[in-house]
Each structure stands twice: as C-alpha cells, then as structure tokens.
Amino acid sequence: MTRTPPTTVSPVRLWRWRRNPLRRHSDVVEAWIVLATWVLALVGGVLAGVVAAHASDAAFSARRAQMHTVSAVLTDDAAKTPLAGTGYDDGRVWAAVRWTDADGSVHTDRAKVFPGAPAGSRLTVWTNRADRVVSAPVTGAAADLQAALTGALAAPLAGAAVWGAGWVVRSRLILRRMAEWDEEWKQIGPRWGNLSGA
C-alpha cells in the first residue's frame, strides 16, 4: 500500500480582495475595515503627534509671553544650608526679595537663591502679570525637546486608539458573520445527510 505524501496548504494572500465564489460581502467589508484601520492609525498617529508638539510649543510661547524678568534685591541674608530635600533640589534656598516696577510700585515675594547670599545682593527673577515670582520659562532646546517628546507620546497613543476602534468594529463583524454561518448551517445541516445519500 503506497502512502500519499501529505499535501501542504499554502495560504492565499489577499483572498478578500480577489474574486472567488466563496467570498462574501462581509469579507470585502472586513478587508476595507482592516485597510482603513491601519491607514488611519498611521496617519492619525502622525497627525496627532504633530498637533500635540505644536500645541505644546504654543503653550510654552504663551507662558513666556506672560512673564518678564525684574532685578530684585535680597531683603535678608539667605540661609547658609538648604533644608533636607527630596532629592530634586538644586541646592538653592528660599529667601525674601524686593523689587520696584517701572511705575514705582514696590513688590516683595520669595525666590530661590544660593545659600549664604547676603542681604542687599542683586539677582534677576521671573515674575508673572500678577507680580508674583515664578520659575523661569522653558526656552530654546529644552522647549523644543519637550514639545517633541509630547508629540512622540501622543502619536502612538492616537494610533493605538484608532487601531483599537478598528479592532472592535472588525470583531463585531466577525461575530455577525459567525451568526450568519450558524443560521445557514441550521438550514443546510439537516439536508446534508440527505444529499450525501442521494
């Protein structure tokens, strides 16, 4: 008795796009959903990344526009040693400062200075429109890097969201197709035995 070698079945690529008698309308719809999902995930991800980077850069520019530098004077001697910090300190200490606006109004606030700075020392601080001392704005390469990182984070998140939505739609389509096959089998299944005996 000769044995026939097992046949290998190679997958047919892009079968949903080719004409064949077994292809259903739902197969074509599924193929378009898969294609649209990948295209929208890629394009949407890139677009979301670019928009997020521009929005981040615009936010930095808007913040910079609301701030300005003033020349201030220390009103008291700064502490000689910084308080025990959390590990994120830059080694500076908080001290009271005073400055005069162009209109002659005097303002006081607290700013970070180097330890041991004597009273009367001059320093430049950033203030907002409410004449409160604020941290220096992010500028130059640091702002560009933060904007780029924001875009790099937003791009895959947006792409993943689009891909997830496409996956949900495709899963529902597959469930619907399985239900249709089940209904068809309920109609054809009982007749199957009769066809084979004919």
- d(CA 110, CA 95) in angstroms, rounded, equals 5
pLDDT at 85: 58
Q: Is the pLDDT of residue 5 over 70?
A: no
Which pLDDT tens digit goes with each residue over 26-82?
Answer: 778 888 898 999 999 999 999 999 999 999 999 999 988 899 999 999 988 888 776
- Element at 72 (helix H, strand E): strand 67-74
Average pLDDT, the chain: 84
* Residue 77 and residue 115 in one domain: yes
Structure tokens at 183: 């209904």
* Residue 46 and residue 80 in one domain: no
Question: 52: domain range?
Answer: 25-61+142-185
- How many domains does one find in the chain? 2
- d(CA 192, CA 10) in angstroms, rounded, equals 28
pLDDT at 131: 87
